[in-house]
Amino acid sequence: MLRRVSFVAAGVVIVVIALVAFVGLFMLPRPGPLEGTTTLHLETVAAVGSALEWPRPNDPHPDWVGYLPTTTWHVPANSTIQVQIDQEDGASGLRNPFWGKVFGTEGGNMHVTFFDDKGTPQESDMTSIDPTQAAHTFAIPDLGVFVPLLAVNPNAPANSTNVITFSFKTKGPGRYRWQCFVPCGAKTIFGNGGPMQTIGYMGGTLIVT
Amino acid sequence: MGVFRIEEADRPHMWRLLIMWVILSAIGIVAVLQISYPPYDQSIQGQDQAGTLRLLTVIATPVFVAVVIIIAYSAIYFRRKTTELVDGPPMLGNTPVQIAWVTISATVVLFLAIVGITTLASESVAQAVGAPGRSIGTGGQTGGGGTGEENKEISVQVIAQQWYFTYRYPDYGGVETTHLYLPVNHPIELHVTSLDIIHSFWAYELGVKADANPGVDNIFHVTPQKTGSFRVRCSELCGLWHGSMTDSEGQVVNQADFNTWIAQQQQDFAGIAKAVPSYAPYYFPLPLTKGS
């Protein structure tokens, strides 16, 4: 009898732990979406817990890479969206170097302020980058938008940020997934685990209304 | 074994069932012949698949109708009318009936076997899965592109990656593209591979579904025969955005449009060409685990 009660009690404890873990990991409120705007100001960081602009120190995975302040964006349909990404991460490199090229932006390029090998600030319009120097990408495949994000040069001053600006046009209303094509999930198989497989870090939804 | 015999009282049921079966089967066959079967006829291989599906549906229709009307008829006419529990009359076997169902089943199965063997031996299927493709080049030295040779197979490499397909055309300098364009009435040799994990390339309207595995060059042949768009999707559960790993902008176009499109792609590709590795049957990116 005592043995049976012990098994039941252990089962209840396991279920409760699983429920708490599920709620804690997946159902706690995330940052809200950026609402109906034609500008997106984003930040890409090596660790969401120690971002320069929108840190999330209480995130369940503060050491994961991520887009900040949120990964759900509301934008109007058939509009030109201005994007500014403050890119703070170092290079991971692209698995497919093809994504080093800019696709789908107005003018087919992006404007980048960055630091050269001497740590001197530079800026330039670019249509592609060295794929090995990609930190992340901003990609909305169904809109044909693929933008590689240049990594911060290791010779840049501490806490430096590359600023990447570009614009793209939305189509009709709908939900469009966006994702990063750099396998930037550190310590995971092929770099595609962890933040690459969890909404709220390196992928999300562009809601066009 | 008993003797095949239908009781006088049961003969009306038999005739009703038989007449209903014949009429409903005829209606059903006419109805299923009106259906346009996937994956339709945008490629020769897809047309073959649609034809096989139509044939199987036609054969299955009388069987389906027989099962349904026997169940429905029995539920209506032979249901128990009293509350008392009694066994039905014993059934001790019926040799003619057993011979009939074994013969009919064997005939249907043998017929389908003949159809299957004939289809596998047909030219289009042999072209799809059996004929050896010409060797593909490496080092970006493949083909000059746009030679205009009729019926010369065009190689296209399908590269799966989480979570998108890209395409390389070794006959056109190894140019890589974000959409799959194919010229109509031109045999295509697809080389399907993956950069990371297991995917599956499914060009629905073309009737092509092929595993995309890292380190593997999976070859499949297809000949588009109608211009128009087709959908591409991944059919192997591959992670967070598997459901979004689609592209509805695949196109079968005429040769002139294809030449224009591929020329534009080559021009666009020039900006990144030096950074992209030479065309190879497959790519095996390392390291397996990214750094900290």
Is B31 part of a structural domain of the chain? yes
Say how many domains are in chain B.
2
**pLDDT, position A24:** 72
Q: Which residues on chain B are in Cβ contact (under 8 Å) with A125?
A: none
Q: Does A204 touch chain B (CB under 8 A)?
A: no
Query: Is domain A32-208 given the CATH code 3.40.190.170 in the classification?
Result: no
Say yes or no: B99 and B160 in one domain: no
State the DSSP code for B250. E
User: Tell me, what CATH number does B209's domain have?
Assistant: 2.60.40.420
Name the residue with tokens 């239908």.
B6
**pLDDT, position B289:** 55
Instruction: State the residue range of the domain holding B21.
Output: 9-79+94-128
Identify which has the larger pLDDT, B8 or A102.
A102
pTM: 0.80
**pLDDT, position B148:** 47
Nearest to A95 among B196, B240, B247 (CB): B196
Burial of B259 (0-12, 13-18, 19+ CB in 10 A): middle
Closest CA to B66 of B124, B21, B22: B21
Say yes or no: B108 and B20 in one domain: yes
Whether the ipTM is more than 0.90: the answer is no
**pLDDT, position B133:** 40
Say yes or no: B158 and B119 in one domain: no
d(CA B162, CA B164): 6
Contact between A187 and A195 (Cβ < 8 Å): no
Amino acid at B232: V
Say yes or no: B117 and B158 in one domain: no
Site from A94, A96, A99 to mutate, B interface, most B CB atoms within 10 angstroms: A96
Is B280 part of a structural domain of the chain? no
Min Cα–Cα distance to chain A from B242, Å: 10
Closest CA to A99 of A186, A204, A182: A182
pLDDT per residue as tens, chain B (292 positions): 445 567 788 889 989 999 999 999 999 999 999 999 999 899 998 998 899 899 999 999 999 999 999 999 999 988 877 787 878 778 777 788 889 889 999 998 999 899 888 877 776 565 555 444 433 333 333 333 444 455 688 999 999 999 999 999 999 999 999 999 999 999 999 999 999 999 999 999 999 999 999 999 999 999 999 999 999 999 999 999 999 999 999 999 999 999 999 999 999 999 899 999 999 998 876 655 555 4
Is B141 part of a structural domain of the chain? no
**pLDDT, position A31:** 59
Is B137 part of a structural domain of the chain? no
Is B288 part of a structural domain of the chain? no
A133 vs A11, A115, B274, CA distance in Å? 50, 12, 15
Say yes or no: B264 and B186 in one domain: yes
Is B4 part of a structural domain of the chain? no
Q: Which backbone phi and psi does B146 adopt, to 5 degrees?
A: 65, 35
Say yes or no: B186 and B244 in one domain: yes
Tell me the pLDDT tens digit for each residue of A143-198.
999 999 999 999 999 999 999 999 999 999 999 999 999 998 888 877 888 999 99
Say yes or no: B110 and B210 in one domain: no
Q: Which residues on chain A are in Cβ contact (under 8 Å) with B276?
A: 97-98
In this structure, what token pair is assigned to residue B124?
Answer: 């289009």
Say yes or no: B22 and B112 in one domain: yes
Amino acid at B164: Y
Contact between A38 and A168 (Cβ < 8 Å): no
Min Cα–Cα distance to chain A from B266, Å: 13
Is B158 part of a structural domain of the chain? yes
Tell me the pLDDT tens digit for each residue of A87-99.
999 998 899 999 9
Say yes or no: B182 and B102 in one domain: no
State what percent of residues in chain A have pLDDT above 90: 71
Site from B164, B232, B272, B276 to mutate, A interface, most A CB atoms within 10 angstroms: B272
> Domain ranges in chain A?
1-30, 32-208
Min Cα–Cα distance to chain A from B170, Å: 15
Q: Which residues on chain B are in Cβ contact (under 8 Å) with A92?
A: 290
Contact between B168 and B217 (Cβ < 8 Å): no
Return the SS3 of A141: helix
Note if the bond before B183 is cis, omega within 30 degrees: no
Is B173 part of a structural domain of the chain? yes
